[in-house]
Amino acid sequence: MEAIAIDILAVQKNERAETEWNPEVGRSRFRDDVWDLTDLTPDWVQDHRRKIDFTAVAEPGLREVWRHYAYWKLGRVKASTVTSMRSNILRLFGYCTVMGADRLSDLDEQDILGLPLWLSSCGIEPATQVHVLQVADEIIRIGQLRGWDVPESVNMAAVKARPEWPKGDPPHKKTKVIPDDTMERVLECALMEEDTINKSLIIILSQTGLRASEVVTIERGCIEQAPAGMHTMEVLISKTVKQGPTPHRILVNSLVVDAVRELEKRNPASEGPLFVRPVRGKVKRMTASDVANRLKSFCLRWSITDADGKPAIHPHMFRTTFVRSLVMQGIPLAFIMEHYAHVSIDMTAHYLQLSREDLRSAWGKAILSPDSTIAGKRAKQIRAAVAKELKARAEESVEDVIASLADSMSFNPLPTGVCLYDLRRGPCSKGESCFFYNCPNYVTEKRFYPVLKRELDLIEEEMSRLKALGREREWQRQYAKRAHLEPLVRDLEEQIDEQ
């Protein structure tokens, strides 16, 4: 009887805790039917993208999952992005209603596999279908880790491997990578272009990866000298902050510097934007649409077209191509995030249009070469395995052995290294609690040393500050982080010194 009473008390306590957990979300509370996110969005965001109305879903169970997903997502992307996901979420929940499910957890694996076919039967565009499926995948995977009311037994990795589930992103002109031969042709024609505006636009877009809306914000005097003979350029970044456009400086090469200098000579004004156009007798700053139209005319004039005779490139394709080229050169994602002022790795990963072959090429040689400088819990094991394989296959070239080893591995880019976990085995057991540095699947190498060393220095500075304030618990958290990070830094330092 006593055990039953204890169980009842435990249930009541859990129910009470669940009811009392009602944190603030913008101007609202978690359990409100409508969230007002006005304070989390810039002034230029439209009113309908400032709120989330959960009453659009009648079933309480589905509505609760939507709340949890939206709350989780708000910690990773902009509020306006979360509100814009409404239509895709409603399509997913509409499928639940068709299947007679009041809760997402009522669906089994076969039900989930039927979602793509149902979306197609509804006449939904392929691109939109992929977005709905991505939302479904994320809700189920994250929900399983966080205890939401989602199907517990459905393995989304296995579901996505099935032929019924569409593979990858749909073809989309804005996110394609520009082929190398096309990029060479574009730059060759741009350098011969007589129109200074067109020439400068293409050079800056291709050499910085900035959005068209960011390129047009550069003004006279935006270039400054940096140490070691380098230059920086100031632009306004608007899509990564909550309070409107923010000045941001990026490193630029000599092509960009020369293009800006040429624009400054063309525009005699002492200050103001460099990309301008006449509008009803006035001079105004160009818009992203102006850039797209100019690039379209440029492509048609120089015959840079696809099989249908349409322009082969779009301004945003330069961004995806630029990120891919940086990754292929081994530039750490942390540096790429800083270049774009991204607030999360998810924003940078959006532009990683890399195939499995690309990743093998970029990371295989960096990690598996006999002279690689790597660190991580499995670093010694990897070095030993490579040495053993090279010895056993002495008749083969080193490149062939490395390519063979890389072919059997999985590479998932991280801000300061790479994760070797094979996602085909299902969701990682670490889930979102992974700290990277304490994970046996994490490996880093010497190109990331400056980033790791800086992070270690910042942690030690924070530890000193917290100790002086007597905040023991927070100091302990930083101490735990340092305990995992410091061995990586010291290991890399020792190997670099030996070299």
Instruction: Give the contacts of 80 (CB within 8 A, at least 6 positions apart).
Output: 41, 42, 45, 49, 50
pLDDT band at residue 412 under the 50/70/90 scheme: confident
pLDDT of residue 49: 83
Range of lowest pLDDT (14-18, 126-130, 483-487): 14-18
Which tokens go with 426? 């299902």
pLDDT of residue 171: 45
- Reply yes or no on whether the pLDDT at 146 is more than 60: yes
pLDDT band at residue 15 under the 50/70/90 scheme: very low
Query: pLDDT by residue (tens digit) across 33-75?
Result: 999 999 888 776 778 889 999 999 999 999 999 999 999 999 8
Name 89's bridge partners: none
Range of lowest pLDDT (257-261, 388-392, 429-433): 429-433
Q: Which of 75-84, 236-245, 327-336 has the highest mean pLDDT?
A: 75-84
Do the bridges between strand 374-375 and strand 442-445 make them parallel or antiparallel, or are there none, so unpaired?
Answer: antiparallel
Q: Percent of the chain having pLDDT more than 70?
A: 84
Give the helix ranges, DSSP H, for 341-377. Answer: 345-349, 356-368
For 139, 154, 202, 231, 242, the CA distances from 50, given in Å and listed in that order, are 22, 33, 35, 39, 12
| Measured distance between the N- and C-terminal CA atoms of the chain, rounded to whole angstroms | 71
Cα separation of 362 and 366, whole Å?
Answer: 7
pLDDT of residue 12: 43
Q: Is 224 left (phi over 0), alpha (psi -120 to 50) or beta?
A: beta
Q: Nearest-5° angle of CA 183, CA 188, CA 191?
A: 125
**Domain(s) of CATH 1.10.443.10: residues in the chain:** 175-328
Q: Which of 62-66, 225-229, 247-251 has the highest mean pLDDT?
A: 62-66
pLDDT of residue 242: 44
- Reply yes or no on whether the pLDDT at 141 is more than 90: yes
* Of residues 339 and 273, more confidently modeled: 273
pLDDT band at residue 7 under the 50/70/90 scheme: very low
Q: Which of 139-143, 344-348, 407-411 has the highest mean pLDDT?
A: 139-143
* Long-range CB pairs of 168-171, under 8 A, 24+ apart, other chains included: 169/130, 170/126, 170/127, 170/129, 170/130
pLDDT of residue 397: 81
pLDDT of residue 4: 41
pLDDT of residue 357: 67
Which tokens go with 407? 């072919």
Instruction: Give the contacts of 496 (CB within 8 A, at least 6 positions apart).
Output: 373, 446, 449
* Of residues 240 and 195, more confidently modeled: 195
Report the pLDDT averaged over residues 470-475: 90
- Reply yes or no on whether the pLDDT at 426 is more than 80: no
- Reply yes or no on whether the pLDDT at 157 is more than 60: yes
* Of residues 49 and 215, more confidently modeled: 215
Cα separation of 398 and 406, whole Å?
Answer: 12
Q: Mean pLDDT across the chain, nearest whole number?
A: 83
Cα separation of 78 and 344, whole Å?
Answer: 10
Query: pLDDT by residue (tens digit) across 158-188?
Result: 888 888 888 655 444 446 889 989 999 999 9
Query: pLDDT by residue (tens digit) across 289-334?
Result: 999 999 999 999 999 999 889 999 999 899 888 888 887 776 766 6
* Of residues 268 and 89, more confidently modeled: 89
Do the bridges between strand 231-237 and strand 223-225 make them parallel or antiparallel, or are there none, so unpaired?
Answer: antiparallel
The CATH number, out of the four listed (1.10.443.10, 3.30.230.10, 3.40.50.2300, 3.40.718.10), of the domain defined by the range 175-328: 1.10.443.10
